[in-house]
């Protein structure tokens, strides 16, 4: 074979091509590595930012609505960046597999918490070798094992429980005997308590209408008609009403309540009317009270003051609410069984100023946005100073809270009032800041009740938190089908929100309550209240 022959040229070209492909693969792997590293760094930075903001919130509290929105935004940003980083990491691994010159990229990830110990473990043992892969000997000795845990979810399983009651005949007297039928959750029940609890919690806790649940059940091979499922929901609400009465008694026995209401569309002839869901929350935790928290919901077709008067007919004490005129007759000195003390919400008042001082929202409005008000910004700053002091005494006794407020909060409140009155005198009555100031100055006595009673909270956020689920759920269920439907919803919201406030899983609690309530004496019904049920479950775990 002569030098420079066509075959040598072909081999040289092939070698050059292979070298060029290797360099291209290496360059592609390097680029993929760089993209993966950049994505990983961005995700890790987003994670650290989110953790920093959460720590700041835990240390100093949420100073403003802007900070709450910032946390939501950071969580969404982290979600997107983590997904991008995972995608780029896999792409880098696939490219690195084509070349030996570049190692596969392994990104830095936040430490994952171990899986809960109460979850069942299923061991899948990989078959061990029967002989040594090095020398072929079968004299192997086990030294230990390496366990890798993977979290898995098993699709929901349906089953039919057959309760068998055998009949017997006595050969001596020919009497036929049979064990008595067990108590059912509801009359003529065809559904077990766990299934009923799931349906109730999905509808009222997760805001999934029954028609969507029926569709999902059908896809899983279990067809249940909408009317049949709705019948069970109505019957369960009736069965659970005795518990609602116990919760109502507990809530109305409080010395201080949070009250609020929200709209709820109600189906009418050819349209929807605007009904109301009212809530009254007992939460003594801010002043270290031992009574468990609870929420009581009511439904009405309109927002007349007579509804609030009926709801609070037996209550006397402190009511923290917004400036709804329907409450006014409750505040009369000659009211029976006693006067209700009106307490205004500083969060409501602050919000009116914050809207005029929200720089981020103003930037989104563009060129047509009105300028930021320096007075509103100053009002927010002064009010935030009071909130900072309140966070430091949250959970302390009423006496400790009152002493701290008289020492630190009272001077700040006095300075705020004097500043607002001086600035208000210079403003037109049509000025938006003037309207926000008037809202507070006209009710200044009700805003400063917290300076004279250590039990009073600065805000009515407890009631707003209780109503938040309804506001979120309206987009899913659109409207209540009738007034009776609104009343049923109020019953279930009372039970579910109260369970959540006591850190109880509502679905698990409802399942146990429905299984036991029909067989439980009336005098023992209090054992099923969420706080008593939780204590009983904890005792069983210890035992």
What is the separation, in whole angstroms, between the first and last Cα of the chain? 91
Phi, psi of 228, rounded to the nearest 5 degrees: -65, -45
Helices (H), 97-149: none
CB-based contacts of 46, cutoff 8 Å, min separation 6: 74, 77, 78, 81, 82
Closest CA to 490 of 314, 237, 270, 117: 237
**Of 42-51, 151-160, 357-366, 429-438, the least confident:** 357-366
494, 486 Cβ separation under 8 angstroms: no
Map residue 178 onto helix, strand or coil.
coil
Average pLDDT (316-338) is 91
What percentage of residues in the chain have a pLDDT greater than 70? 82
Average pLDDT (476-493) is 79
**Of 160-174, 311-325, 434-448, the least confident:** 160-174
Average pLDDT (433-458) is 95
Q: Give domain limits for the chain.
A: 24-110, 192-345+460-543
Peptide bond just before 33 cis, omega within 30 deg: no
Across the chain, what does the average pLDDT equal? 84
Give whole-number Cα distances, 240 to 6, 232, 518, in Å: 93, 12, 10
Closest CA to 510 of 281, 295, 204, 207: 204
What local confidence, expressed as pLDDT, does residue 481 receive? 66
Map residue 75 onto helix, strand or coil.
helix
420, 441 Cβ separation under 8 angstroms: yes
Map residue 491 onto helix, strand or coil.
helix
pLDDT band at 102 (very low <50, low <70, confident <90, very high): low
Phi, psi of 256, rounded to the nearest 5 degrees: -145, 135
Question: Which residues are 274's β-sheet partners?
Answer: 265
| pLDDT for residue 387 is more than 60 | yes
What local confidence, expressed as pLDDT, does residue 495 receive? 97
What local confidence, expressed as pLDDT, does residue 421 receive? 96
Determine the Cα–Cα distance for residues 196 and 233; give it in Å rounded to an integer.
8
| pLDDT for residue 534 is more than 80 | yes
pLDDT digits (tens, 9 = 90+) for 256-266: 999 999 988 88
Determine the Cα–Cα distance for residues 329 and 327; give it in Å rounded to an integer.
6
Please give the helix or strand (H or E) that residue 74 lies within, else none: helix 65-96
Map residue 319 onto helix, strand or coil.
strand
Predicted TM-score of the model (pTM): 0.77
| pLDDT for residue 287 is more than 90 | yes
DSSP one-letter code for 503: T
Q: How many CA atoms lie within 13 A of 197 on its CB side?
A: 18
Buried b (16+ CB within 10 A) or exposed e, 200-239: bbbbbbebbbbeebbeebeeeeeebeeeebbebbebbbeb
161-166 contacts at long range (C-beta below 8 A, 24 or more positions apart):
161/192
Determine the Cα–Cα distance for residues 408 and 393; give it in Å rounded to an integer.
11
294 token code pair? 């609870």
Determine the Cα–Cα distance for residues 94 and 104; give it in Å rounded to an integer.
8
Please give the helix or strand (H or E) that residue 275 lies within, else none: strand 271-282
148 token code pair? 């890798």
Maximum pairwise Cα distance, the chain? 122
Q: Which residue has the tokens 């600065």?
A: 458
């Amino acid at each position: 074979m002569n030098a420079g022959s066509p075959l040598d040229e072909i081999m040289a070209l092939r070698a050059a091509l292979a070298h060029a492909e290797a360099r291209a693969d290496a360059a592609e792997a390097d680029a993929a590595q760089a993209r993966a590293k950049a994505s990983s760094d961005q995700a890790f930075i987003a994670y650290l930012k989110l953790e920093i903001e959460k720590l700041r919130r835990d240390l100093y509290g949420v100073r403003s609505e802007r900070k709450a929105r910032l946390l939501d935004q950071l969580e969404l940003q982290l979600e997107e960046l983590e997904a991008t980083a995972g995608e780029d990491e896999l792409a880098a691994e696939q490219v690195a597999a084509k070349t030996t010159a570049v190692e596969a990229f392994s990104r830095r990830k936040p430490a994952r918490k171990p899986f809960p110990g109460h979850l069942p473990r299923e061991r899948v043992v990989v078959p061990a070798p029967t002989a040594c892969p090095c020398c072929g000997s079968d004299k192997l000795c086990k030294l230990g094992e390496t366990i890798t845990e993977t979290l898995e979810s098993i699709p929901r399983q349906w089953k039919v429980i057959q309760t068998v009651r055998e009949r017997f005949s006595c050969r001596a007297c020919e009497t036929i005997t049979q064990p008595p039928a067990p108590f059912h959750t509801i009359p003529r029940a065809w559904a077990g308590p766990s299934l009923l609890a799931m349906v109730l919690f999905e509808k009222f806790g997760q805001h999934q209408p029954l028609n969507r649940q029926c569709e999902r059940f059908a896809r899983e091979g279990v067809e249940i008609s909408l009317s049949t499922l709705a019948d069970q929901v109505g019957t369960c609400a009736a069965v659970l009403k005795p518990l609602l009465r116990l919760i109502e008694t507990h809530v109305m026995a409080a010395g201080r309540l949070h009250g609020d209401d929200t709209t709820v569309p109600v189906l009418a002839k050819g349209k929807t009317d605007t009904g109301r869901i009212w809530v009254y929350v007992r939460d003594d935790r801010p002043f270290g009270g031992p009574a468990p928290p609870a929420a009581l919901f009511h439904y009405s077709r309109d927002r007349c003051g007579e509804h609030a008067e009926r709801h609070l007919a037996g209550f006397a004490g402190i009511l923290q609410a917004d400036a709804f005129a329907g409450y006014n007759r409750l505040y009369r000195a000659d009211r029976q069984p006693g006067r209700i003390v009106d307490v205004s919400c500083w969060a409501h008042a602050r919000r009116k100023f914050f809207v005029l001082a929200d720089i981020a929202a103003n930037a989104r409005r563009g060129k047509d946005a009105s300028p930021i008000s320096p007075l509103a910004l100053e009002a927010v700053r002064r009010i935030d100073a009071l909130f900072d002091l309140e966070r430091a005494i949250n959970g302390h006794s009423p006496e400790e809270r009152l002493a701290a407020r008289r020492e630190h909060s009272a001077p700040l409140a006095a300075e705020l009032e004097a500043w607002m009155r001086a600035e208000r005198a210079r403003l037109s009555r049509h000025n938006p800041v003037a309207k926000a100031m008037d809202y507070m100055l006209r009710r200044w006595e009700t805003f400063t009740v917290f300076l004279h009673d250590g039990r009073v909270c600065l805000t009515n956020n407890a009631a707003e938190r209780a109503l938040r689920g309804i506001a979120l759920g309206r987009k899913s269920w659109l409207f209540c089908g009738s007034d009776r439907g609104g009343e049923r919803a109020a019953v279930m919201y009372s039970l579910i929100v109260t369970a959540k406030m006591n850190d109880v899983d509502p679905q698990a609690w409802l399942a146990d309550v429905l299984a036991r309530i029909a067989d439980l004496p009336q005098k023992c019904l209090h054992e099923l209240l969420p706080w008593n049920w939780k204590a009983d479950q904890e005792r069983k775990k210890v035992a």
